Amino acid sequence: MTVVQRLLVLAFCTALAAPALADAPRVIQWSDLVPKGTVAENPFAKLDRAQLQALSDVAAVRDRRAKGDKSLSAADLAVEQNTVRRLEQAGVDVDGLLAKRRAISEHRTAAQVNPLLDGLTVRLPGYVLPLEITGRKVTEFLLVPWVGACIHTPPPPPNQIVHVKTDTPFELTGLFMPVWITGRLSTGATKRSLYLVDGTSDIDIGYTVKASRVDPYRQ
């Protein structure tokens, strides 16, 4: 084969590979969803899942007490006090975190999205918070960056929540199941109603993805 023939073959192979490369998903991280100069705060990041659940339980009891719930028993209050004591012994600032939780819920405004990602096919890891589920099969969910988001802690800013829909149901193995999603990402503010610890709330969302794949998380 002559040099010219080899160059023609190489050019032909490159042309065939170009569409596949163009469609290859871009692996992104949650920090990529935040516009430059914006910080995604998470004062609960150092807590493990058990501590997040315990903090949620304390918040629920205190909210009921603040609302004058007469069904609260002495046993409920004793459990709350013991839970607070256990958390504080582990170095958790219960009152401080609950104050931040309330402040974040009341004062957090919609953060901007990253317009450079609009329309890209991306691959992103995160945790599943199901919205539409039949049995254990999920077709619609919120993807969030940490365990407990929206349930045990305040919702992340909108640029840290992705609304995902898929035509191929996948089996949920547990709440906040870790997954990789692959699909075309779109920017644009939306809302979804979600049941939180202190009632139903509208969650502000900054991104949507029509997922072609949802895979169990593996590094």
**Please, which residues have CB within 8 angstroms of residue 166's CB and are 6 or more apart in sequence?**
138, 139, 140, 183, 210, 211, 212, 214
Number of other residues whose CB lies within 10 A of the CB of residue 133: 14
Contact 108, 150 (CB under 8 A): no
User: Does residue 203 sit in helix, strand or coil?
Assistant: strand
Residue 117 included in any domain: yes
| 201: β partners | 194
- Mind listing the pLDDT tens digit for each residue in 12-71? 554 444 444 456 899 999 999 988 765 556 677 788 888 888 888 898 898 888 888 889
Q: Which domain-ending residue is among 107, 122, 155?
A: 107
pLDDT value for 21? 47
Average pLDDT of 173-182? Answer: 92
Residue 78 included in any domain: yes
Q: Which domain-ending residue is among 107, 123, 155?
A: 107
Average pLDDT of 136-165? Answer: 88
Domain span at residue 201 reads 110-216
Together in a domain, 130 and 179 = yes
**Region of residue 99 (phi > 0: left; psi between -120 and 50: alpha; otherwise: beta):** alpha
Per-residue tokens: 117: 């990602």
Together in a domain, 65 and 78 = yes
Average pLDDT of 172-179? Answer: 91
Residue 5 included in any domain: no
Residue 13 included in any domain: no
Average pLDDT of 178-191? Answer: 94
Together in a domain, 212 and 146 = yes
DSSP string, 161-179: -EEEEEEEEEE--STT-EE
- Mind listing the pLDDT tens digit for each residue in 96-141? 888 877 666 554 544 588 999 999 999 999 999 999 888 889 999 9
Which amino acid, residue 10? L
Average pLDDT of 175-195? Answer: 90
Q: What sign for the dihedral angle of Cα 117, 123, 124, 128? A: positive
Residue 134 included in any domain: yes
CA atoms of 184 and 194, how far apart (whole Å): 24
| 161: β partners | none
This prediction's pTM = 0.62
**Region of residue 68 (phi > 0: left; psi between -120 and 50: alpha; otherwise: beta):** left
Q: How many structural domains are present in the chain?
A: 2
pLDDT value for 40? 53
pLDDT value for 32? 94
Together in a domain, 54 and 121 = no
Mean pLDDT over each residue of the chain, to the nearest integer: 82
pLDDT value for 3? 46
pLDDT at 190 over 70: yes
pLDDT at 215 over 90: yes
| 205: β partners | 190
Number of other residues whose CB lies within 10 A of the CB of residue 23: 8
Together in a domain, 167 and 123 = yes
Together in a domain, 101 and 155 = no
Average pLDDT of 208-214? Answer: 95
